[in-house]
Structure 1
Amino acid sequence: MNKVVEVQELGIKDYKSTWDYQEDIFKNIVDLKIKNRREEVELPTPNYLLFVEHPHVYTLGKSGDLSNLLLNKEQLTEKGATFYKINRGGDITYHGPGQIVGYPILDLENFFTDIHKYLRLLEEMIILTLADYGLQSERSPGETGVWLDVGTPFARKICAMGVRASRWVTMHGFALNVNADLGYFDNIIPCGIRGKAVTSLNVELGKKHIDETEVKEKLLKHFKTLFEAEYK
């Protein structure tokens, strides 16, 4: 069981090229697992955690409803945004500047074979990170991600999640709003959920800008503890 995770900081990167990069890593890990089983060997499978910031983009999960995108092609162009239908779970979401996007590409057989637990630990990582900033966040029953003021008329989502897994290898991941332009969420029905708002860490703290490098350091600290991982 290899619990070493290679952390990669990709900077600002186009969504499609990042998706292709994820797919290449994902395929290499799956192919290695197939080879191990076929040849009855035990070569260790690698794990990765990619951090990236995307230019404005809307993505729709495989079970999503296209009507939750409220813009046509011309309006997308006017907004400087792109759109992709992709192979993760969940409905529609937005990625853009000021948002920390994390893509763990893990062989869960190195950690535990439980997708439900995997999602809950990712949520817990976000909850603990927000607690470091004095914010109390939580899960919303039946809705993946991390929220504030669940069960009140002021419920709002601060972190979206959507993953894909095959042969216990994961891809896609989480998007935490840190300094996000929330106006871009007005162009979709986020995650297909009507009547609930979206927020960002800087808004909640009443600050113009939050140090995103510091937020990533906190995320990595909690990820390491929760997954009992090591970094390289």
Structure 2
Amino acid sequence: MNKLLTVKDLGLKDYKETWEYQEELFQEILNIKIKNRREETTLATPNYFLFVEHPHVYTLGKSGDLDNLLISESKLVEIGATYYKINRGGDITYHGPGQIVGYPILDLENYFTDIHKYLRLLEEMVILTLAEYGVKSERSKGETGVWLDVGTPFARKICALGVRASRWVTMHGFALNVNADLGYFDNMIPCGIKGKAVTSLNVELGKAEIDLEEVKGKLMKHFLALFEAEKI
């Protein structure tokens, strides 16, 4: 089992370009697994973790409802946003500047073969990171992602998750609001869940801006510990 992890920070990058790059890495891993099975070889499969920020974009998961996007195509153009229907699970999500997006492209057979455990560990990575800033976050039963004040009228989501997996290879991932412009969330029903608010770390801390690189460092530290992985 190869637990080595190649980490790449793509900076601010177009959603479609990043999606295509994810697909390339995803297919690379799948091809090695198929070759190993067919030819009875034991080639090691690589693991990747991409950090990225996207320009304003709305993405709809394969089980999502387009009615959860509340604005027209012309309004999308007006606010400088794009829209894509994609092949991850989940409903509608927004990505934009000030949000840390992470795409782990892993062969889970290098770690464990349990998708639910995978999602829970991604949530735990975020929960532990937020705790370092004095923010108490948690899971909400039946709702993937990371939330604050669950079970109260003030429940709000700070991190969305949506993944795809095939032959235990993962893609897509999580989006953590750090310095996000929350106004863009008003144009959709986040994850298709009505009546739930969205927040950002800078809002919770009452600060204009949080150091994104510092947050990425904390996320990676917890990811490596939780997955018993080693960064290369």
TM-score by length of 2: 1.00
1:161-184 superposed Cα distances (whole Å, 9 cap, x missing partner): 000000000000000000000000
Give the equivalent residue in structure 1 for 2:105: 105
Q: Distance in 1 between matches of 2:210 and 2:73?
A: 33
Rounded to whole Å, the distance in 1 between the matches of 2:23 and 2:78 is 30
SS at match of 2:103: strand
5 Å-filtered alignment, 1:29-178, equals 29-178=29-178
Q: Find the aligned partners of 1:15 and 1:83 in 2 and give their Cα distance.
A: 9
Give, as a single letter, the amino acid of the residue that structure 2 aligns with 1:150. Answer: V
Does 1:200 find its partner at 2:197? Answer: no
Give a deviation string over 1:33-61, Cα, whole Å, max 9, x none.
00001010100000000000000000000
Equivalent AA in structure 1 for residue 97 of structure 2:
P
Cα distance in 2 for partners of 1:79, 1:4 equals 41
The residue type paired with residue 204 of structure 2 is: E
**Structure 2: 5+ residue stretches without partners:** none
Q: Which amino acid aligns with 2:31?
A: D
Distance across 1 between alignment mates of 2:124 and 2:101 = 16
The whole-number CA distance in structure 1 between the counterparts of 2:42 and 2:72 is: 50
For the aligned residue pairs, the C-alpha RMSD in angstroms reads 0.3
SS in 2 for 1:123: helix
For 1:7 and 1:231, locate their aligned partners in 2 and report how far apart those are by CA, in whole Å. Answer: 7
SS at match of 2:41: coil
- Identity across the alignment (%): 80
SS of the residue corresponding to residue 33 of structure 1 reads: helix
* Count of residues paired in the alignment: 232
Give the structure 2 partner of residue 8 of structure 1. 8
| 1:222 CA drift (Å) | 0.2
State how far apart, in whole Å, the 2-side matches of 1:40 and 1:188 are. 48
Deviations 1:157-210 (A, max 9, x none): 000000000000000000000000000000000000000100000000000000
The DSSP-based 3-state class of the residue aligned with 1:38 is helix
Structure 1 unmatched runs, 5+? none
- Who is 1:19 aligned against? 19
Shift of residue 224, structure 1, vs aligned partner: 0.5
How far, CA to CA, are the matches of 1:221 and 1:74 in structure 2? 42
TM-score by length of 1: 1.00
